[in-house]
Structure 1
């Protein structure tokens, strides 16, 4: 067990960091988790994410904590900057004594935390960063990832894209690690499935600074039959509005990462595109006991429906709790051993943390966008099990350095 905090010390930590934690009677020993995310840079996703992990921590501690100890979270905002994330990680490990790190949104930030975790030999569970590098080319013993990666989501989307008659494709994506990785793997997978396709144009607007009109005009000039979109957040809104105004999407298929997530679809309201093939989260139409229980608990606590970030935060901390319970230790190597091969029931069904590459088998919903009652929704969707969209162990060995 970790050193017991005094009541005064625990109160001081709570006030000084603004973190969420259990305040159960007796102030039992606390297991401190360091959480880092881009709260100020992308609140549309990270605020629901925070609510999700807060709900999970509340449930974990109400259920007896970690083998009798409370789970306490020290949370920091990295502002979407890799250097700030590394500074926060160093403070959490060296000063605050956390036993592991979690969180991350932007892929470049996640890679920076993963590199820190490798050098400092501390477990890092990345919740959101999607770049394939985090578990493959730059993977390391101490880093794990929860969400389906770019490869997994690209494989799901390319499977649908290959069925389209379109041969001439264009792409648009934010010009940083996530966008570059997503476009690269989608092109590889679609070309493998359909050798007759060609990519005739690429647009790489800077993250958060898209000129939607100029991008739409440049894509239209290439006259593609289909478009791959990787834009999200405010950039997606700009792209959709300007593309619609200029008729970019008329008569063209669009395949789009993340657009079905309510964080990004709801702000479009009646302007949401129709017929795009997307990954997302149709919370309003998932009929399973596991999801129903989660949704009811979330709505009861916050008075609003869950977002995909809510699910990520919730499952992230449920997974952390199971790792700690299984390890019965807070030593990094024991936590790594406990995480490898671990299974967990989630609102989307059972997942496994693969030993070979530290990638969870959490899946994603794939469907089409539509407008109903003046708002964007996902229709004709199916859940794709992440385990079905990952390369074999033999292939992974060629992609990932051996620990």
Structure 2
């Protein structure tokens, strides 16, 4: 009987423990939502970056004495599914904050959910300017430089070309539209005589690359601004190469220098495109070297930009929770305003006026080196530089007050 009582007692303790809220058990839950099946090239390394950050945080005792637990959901690239996943994570899983999103439309759905529910959301990747400026809200912060910032980093190089006739190709959803609008606005300001002679807006993931390349060639532009990425980019480059679209034409291209998108091009990688990207193989800073070494040791693979984003997002979440001393949404908002975080690209700060981090981007040129695309002649442009962010006054005009 004594043995049975001990068994019953142990079972009772386990049952009671399962009913204790996560907070009482010393766990901080981060609910992360993303388009894992739809965008695996970026999001598989991104997930690894998050896992590395969680391991490092928990190995040091967690945050405020609590272990970090990451709970992920797939949104199928659908804003509707995104909101359903957010509801589940908040109501059923009792997460302490929301994070993630890759596509700008799903990110905006999460931002609106955060606003309506007064729940903290840290966006890692969605690039539309509506995340932090037009449409930005009290409960949403963003890590990566948005479309305006990346365009502002590329436009000085584009203006140096002194090309008058430009054609543009972009995926026809929020990110592509936002990037195109920013590039046109900034290039026109830098070079008033510029003309935009053709635009091709393609369905995301369904580009008819042959007809798009031909339409651009028919417009006889002097230069091209490309916003396509992923499989759409691969198809566009292949068709453009076949039709001679890029011969004697400069291409300025957002994201193309990221290994997620440059590596799959292999021997079709273009020469001389001006791009934003991530030349992980030749960054020599101590911060990046430590990150690369830890990532390679854990995954036996090289990092992609997604790896940096996932890692830095979770490190930002932990730093914000530590500073707030709480997971209360309004305390997190207060803590994130001016929050400084160490990242593989150096120290970044979340700006109080618009909740945008100062993470920068590498700008350089593509080179086909031995049948593989790499970035050369690159520089790291710090997102804290006033040239790449709208002024506080402009932010105030475009964003509702917190």
TM class by shorter chain equals over 0.9
Gaps of 5+ in 1: 1-5, 13-26
Query: How far does residue 67 in structure 1 lie from its aligned partner after superposition?
Result: 1.4
Query: How far does residue 308 in structure 1 lie from its aligned partner after superposition?
Result: 0.1
Look up the SS of the partner of 2:52 in the other structure: helix
Partner of 2:9: none
Cα gap change, 1:318 to 1:250, in 2 (>3 Å): same
Q: 1:28 touches 1:70 (CA, 8 Å); kept in 2?
A: no
Cα gap change, 1:165 to 1:62, in 2 (>3 Å): same
Match of 2:190 among 193, 202, 211: 193
Q: How does 1:1-400 map to 2 (within 5 A)?
A: 28-388=25-385, 389-400=388-399
Cα gap change, 1:362 to 1:10, in 2 (>3 Å): farther
Query: How far does residue 281 in structure 1 lie from its aligned partner after superposition?
Result: 0.1
Partner of 2:401: 402
Q: Distance in 2 between matches of 1:7 and 1:86?
A: 33
Partner of 1:18: none
Query: How far does residue 372 in structure 1 lie from its aligned partner after superposition?
Result: 1.1
Cα gap change, 1:33 to 1:10, in 2 (>3 Å): farther
Look up the SS of the partner of 1:220 in the other structure: helix
Please list every run of at least 4 consecutive aligned residues from structure 1 whose deviation after the TM superposition is greater than 2 angstroms: 6-12
Q: Distance in 1 between matches of 2:81 and 2:208?
A: 27
Q: Distance in 2 between matches of 1:330 and 1:387?
A: 27
Look up the SS of the partner of 2:376 in the other structure: strand
How many equivalent pairs are there? 386
Partner of 2:7: none
Query: How far does residue 401 in structure 1 lie from its aligned partner after superposition?
Result: 1.2
Look up the SS of the partner of 2:126 in the other structure: coil
Partner of 2:6: none
Q: Distance in 2 between matches of 1:394 and 1:334?
A: 25
Q: 1:362 touches 1:387 (CA, 8 Å); kept in 2?
A: yes
Q: Distance in 2 between matches of 1:358 and 1:33?
A: 19
Partner of 1:19: none
Q: Distance in 1 between matches of 2:259 and 2:356?
A: 24
Look up the SS of the partner of 1:306 in the other structure: coil
* Stretch of structure 1 that moved more, 360-369 or 156-165: 156-165
Query: How far does residue 165 in structure 1 lie from its aligned partner after superposition?
Result: 2.2
Query: How far does residue 10 in structure 1 lie from its aligned partner after superposition?
Result: 9.0
TM (norm. structure 1) is 0.94
Query: How far does residue 391 in structure 1 lie from its aligned partner after superposition?
Result: 1.3
Cα gap change, 1:9 to 1:264, in 2 (>3 Å): farther
Look up the SS of the partner of 2:246 in the other structure: coil
Look up the SS of the partner of 2:362 in the other structure: strand
Q: Distance in 1 between matches of 2:265 and 2:229?
A: 11
Query: How far does residue 373 in structure 1 lie from its aligned partner after superposition?
Result: 2.0
Cα-Cα RMSD: 1.7
Partner of 2:5: none
Q: Distance in 2 between matches of 1:212 and 1:291?
A: 36
Look up the SS of the partner of 2:162 in the other structure: coil
Look up the SS of the partner of 1:274 in the other structure: coil
Q: 1:241 touches 1:271 (CA, 8 Å); kept in 2?
A: yes
Q: Distance in 1 between matches of 2:17 and 2:215?
A: 56
